[in-house]
Amino acid sequence: MTKEFTQSTGSNPVKMFGMIAPYLPGLLLRSGTAWLSFKRQANKGGREFKKELLRQGIEKESADLLTRQYLESSMLIKYFKDVE
């Protein structure tokens, strides 16, 4: 943090939150939009992946299992829960 910011807020968390609060809605909107776009692209990739597996002759049950494993890497909430 800059010296100016530290001096203006001191150790008062309420004042610090008051300075940050106006930026939160925009930050949440941008991060939410990015997350939804990421999930949409991951799901589209999963559909393409499954379609290609089926085209290559893998049975449906195996293709479903492999697709679920493929999509696990795009489950960001799972990663946040594992951090705890």
Q: What is the pLDDT of residues 46-76, one digit of tens each?
A: 999 999 999 999 999 999 999 999 999 888 7
pTM (2 d.p.): 0.63
- Where do the structural domains in the chain lie, given as residue ranges? 3-83
Q: What is the rounded distance in angstroms from the CA atom of residue 61 to the CA atom of residue 50?
A: 11
Q: What is the rounded distance in angstroms from the CA atom of residue 54 to the CA atom of residue 15?
A: 58
**What's the sign of the alpha-carbon dihedral 59, 60, 62, 66?**
positive
The count of residues in the chain is: 84
- What tokens does 20 get? 């940050």
- What tokens does 69 get? 């494993």
Are the C-beta atoms of residues 43 and 57 closer than 8 Å to each other? no
User: pLDDT by residue (tens digit) across 6-42?
Assistant: 555 567 888 888 888 999 999 999 999 998 999 999 9
